[in-house]
A and B are shown apart, each in its own frame.
Chain A
Amino acid sequence: MHGADAEQASAPSRSAPGRRAEFERAQRRRSTLLATASTAVLLGLIIWQVPKLSGWQRVRKSFFDRKTFSDAFDPVLHAFWLDVKIFLVCAPLIILFGMLIALSRSVRSPLLFPLRMAATLYVDIVRGVPIILWLYLIGFGGAGLMNVREVGFGPIKIGTYLFLGGVALVVTYSAYVAEVFRAGIEGVHESQRSGARSLGLSTWHTNRHVVLPQAVRRVIPPLMNDFISLQKDVALVSVLGPIEALRRADVLQDKLFNFTPFVVAAVLFLCVSIPLTRTADYLLAKERRTMSGTAVR
């Protein structure tokens, strides 16, 4: 009797994997259908309703003018290279200084207390003031101090304001990136330090070979977020005068009485930031997978 009951109860569950897969397939079909339908309805509403707004014709002419777009594209793209160059020069410097500041904040030796205090103050002060304000302060203040038109690095000469704009970005972003690194360093479990020190490794070797490599691996995804912001914030340098994409678009807008050049600049920034964002998401997802894979067995 009992045995027969068990047999009966287990019979449906044996065919369950098939039924479950079928159920999940149906669910997926339904989700896809719903997502497609809702997107189509929303897009339809926008396309149908927005042109009916009283100002639409005016906005279309001043923001989405095809001829202005193609006329402005080349000059703005050309200026956009300056944004890319600023980014490529500043990003490695920010990583370097950010790491140095993070390490300075983590030292425990009493001899190095002034260093630790300076690093802490630096991070607090820099992060407490808007980036654009730092650009003005460092840009105009620095230009007054330096009193030269150009700064030379060997054969390369760059305008003072461009140089100081880059300095301001490095100064501000280093503070944010330092905090990311510090979180990474503190996130390495104490047992890793114990393991290394128990082998007779010095503090320096423990940091260099055990803690930092793990900390850096951990912070790559959050660092990517900071660099996505940097990639857009390079446009802030324009407040000091250098003609990068935003500034070039502004000049064109003045000349053509049309805002379409701004849209051109926006499209160019998107072309860089969307791939960067996707890469960051991918790295984050990958990190999460590895972390769950290394759980203690």
Chain B
Amino acid sequence: MMKLQYQHVHKAFGEKTVLDGIDLNVGVGGAIALIGASGSGKSTLLRCTNLLEPIDDGAILLDGDDITEPGRDADPIRRRIGMVFQSFNLFPHMNVLSNVTLSPRKVLGKSKAEANDAAMAMLTRFGLADKAGDYPDRLSGGQQQRVAIVRALQMNPEVMLLDEITSALDPELVGEVLNVVRDLRADGMTMIIATHEMSFAREIADTVCFLKNGVIAEQGPPQQIFSAPTHPDTRDFLARVIASGRL
């Protein structure tokens, strides 16, 4: 059973082609890691999946249903797909609890008490209960990113898109965020993870896709991609990653 299917997905910004025919299947409970240099199209693919960017050609199917059909209302689809951003995108004028409960209340129509209870339960689970009343700028980057994950999870999404969620963090804060992702994985959440953390991709993904110039140059299980890459570009990329000490 496929959760998400990408069929010949094309996307250009003006003259620049960013996605040049992406074909990819994501099974229910699957975890896909997207790797590749900056500008290879990882983020754009995630933004297109959440309909933050319209695609130019091809289709993206959620449970077999074409969500990229032009003119379709995006809001009900976005509810089912959670997204976490590199720069957290928390709302700076609201405290943590309000950040996390805004969409359950306004979109799902939950009562304040109901939304607060659900939010506090999850904040507690991820060690953020004592931060509920704080504003985002009082938190560390790692805490902010964990709040952003909790915020997305409050909508009970069927898929989580993680867009380089540790790239803006100081090295010592990466671990606490990755632990949350491990938790989600253990719960069987379907995930697509754009990342520069190769060892994490290797550990958590069941499929790794190497993107270059808007195409998936190579995909396969992590052991194969990291130990025996067949495509010369993948080998090149991994060699550079190793040289920079990130693997």
Q: Are B102 and A201 interface neighbours, CB within 8 A? A: yes
Q: Give which listed residue, A199, A202, A293, A297, contacts B102 with CB less than 8 A.
A: A199
Q: Are B141 and A198 interface neighbours, CB within 8 A? A: no
Contacts of B90 in A (CB 8 A): 195
Q: Are A198 and B107 interface neighbours, CB within 8 A? A: no
A32 interface contact, C-beta 8 A: no
Contacts of B85 in A (CB 8 A): 191, 194-195, 198
Q: Are B93 and A199 interface neighbours, CB within 8 A? A: no
Contacts of B107 in A (CB 8 A): 199-202, 205
> What's the nearest-Cβ distance from chain A to residue B107, in Å?
5
**CA A191 – CA B140 in complex, angstroms?**
19
* Closest A residue to B91 using CB positions: A210
A19 interface contact, C-beta 8 A: no
Interface bits A86-119 vs B (CB < 8 Å: 1, else 0): 0000000000000000000000000000000000
Q: Are B93 and A213 interface neighbours, CB within 8 A? A: yes
- Interface hits, B112-159 → A, CB 8 Å: 136-137, 140-141, 144, 148, 151-152, 155
Contacts A214-B91, A294-B92 aside, 6 further interface pairs with beta carbons under 8 A come to A199-B82, A200-B78, A201-B102, A214-B93, A217-B93, A296-B88
**CA A197 – CA B51 in complex, angstroms?**
9
Q: List 25 A–B pairs whose Cβ atoms lie within 8 Å, in order of A's numbering.
A: A192-B89, A192-B91, A194-B47, A194-B89, A195-B85, A196-B102, A197-B52, A197-B75, A198-B50, A198-B78, A198-B82, A198-B83, A198-B85, A199-B103, A200-B78, A200-B103, A201-B75, A202-B107, A214-B93, A217-B93, A296-B87, A296-B88, A296-B141, A297-B140, A297-B141
How many A-B contacts if CB must be within 8 Å?
Answer: 77
Contacts of B168 in A (CB 8 A): 296
B79 interface contact, C-beta 8 A: yes
Contacts of A297 in B (CB 8 A): 140-141, 144, 170
Q: Are B92 and A201 interface neighbours, CB within 8 A? A: no
B14 interface contact, C-beta 8 A: no
Contacts of B74 in A (CB 8 A): 197
Q: Are A209 and B106 interface neighbours, CB within 8 A? A: yes
B76 interface contact, C-beta 8 A: yes
* Closest B residue to A208 using CB positions: B106
**CA A200 – CA B79 in complex, angstroms?**
5
> What's the nearest-Cβ distance from chain A to residue B143, in Å?
10
**CA A202 – CA B106 in complex, angstroms?**
9
Contacts of A198 in B (CB 8 A): 50, 52, 78, 81-83, 85, 89, 152
**CA A217 – CA B140 in complex, angstroms?**
23
Contacts of B137 in A (CB 8 A): 293-294
* Closest B residue to A202 using CB positions: B75
> What's the nearest-Cβ distance from chain A to residue B125, in Å?
19
Q: Are A200 and B155 interface neighbours, CB within 8 A? A: yes
Q: Give which listed residue, B76, B87, B136, B170, contacts A200 with CB less than 8 A.
A: B76
Contacts of A294 in B (CB 8 A): 92, 136-137
**CA A92 – CA B52 in complex, angstroms?**
37
Interface bits A258-297 vs B (CB < 8 Å: 1, else 0): 0000000000000000000000000000000000011011
Q: Known contacts A194-B89, A214-B92: does B141 contact A199 (CB below 8 Å)? A: no
- Interface hits, A180-212 → B, CB 8 Å: 191-192, 194-202, 205, 209-210
**CA A294 – CA B144 in complex, angstroms?**
12
> What's the nearest-Cβ distance from chain A to residue B63, in Å?
17
Q: Are A199 and B76 interface neighbours, CB within 8 A? A: no
Contacts of B76 in A (CB 8 A): 200
Contacts of A213 in B (CB 8 A): 93
Contacts of B93 in A (CB 8 A): 213-214, 217
9 A-B pairs with least C-beta separation: A195-B89, A200-B79, A199-B103, A198-B83, A294-B137, A200-B78, A297-B141, A200-B107, A205-B106
> What's the nearest-Cβ distance from chain B to residue A289, in Å?
12
Q: Are A199 and B87 interface neighbours, CB within 8 A? A: no
Q: Known contacts A194-B52, A209-B106, A297-B141: does B91 contact A199 (CB below 8 Å)? A: no
* Closest A residue to B161 using CB positions: A198
Q: Known contacts A293-B137, A294-B137: does B89 contact A197 (CB below 8 Å)? A: no
**CA A294 – CA B107 in complex, angstroms?**
28
Contacts of B106 in A (CB 8 A): 201, 205, 209
Q: Are B89 and A191 interface neighbours, CB within 8 A? A: yes
Contacts of B78 in A (CB 8 A): 197-200
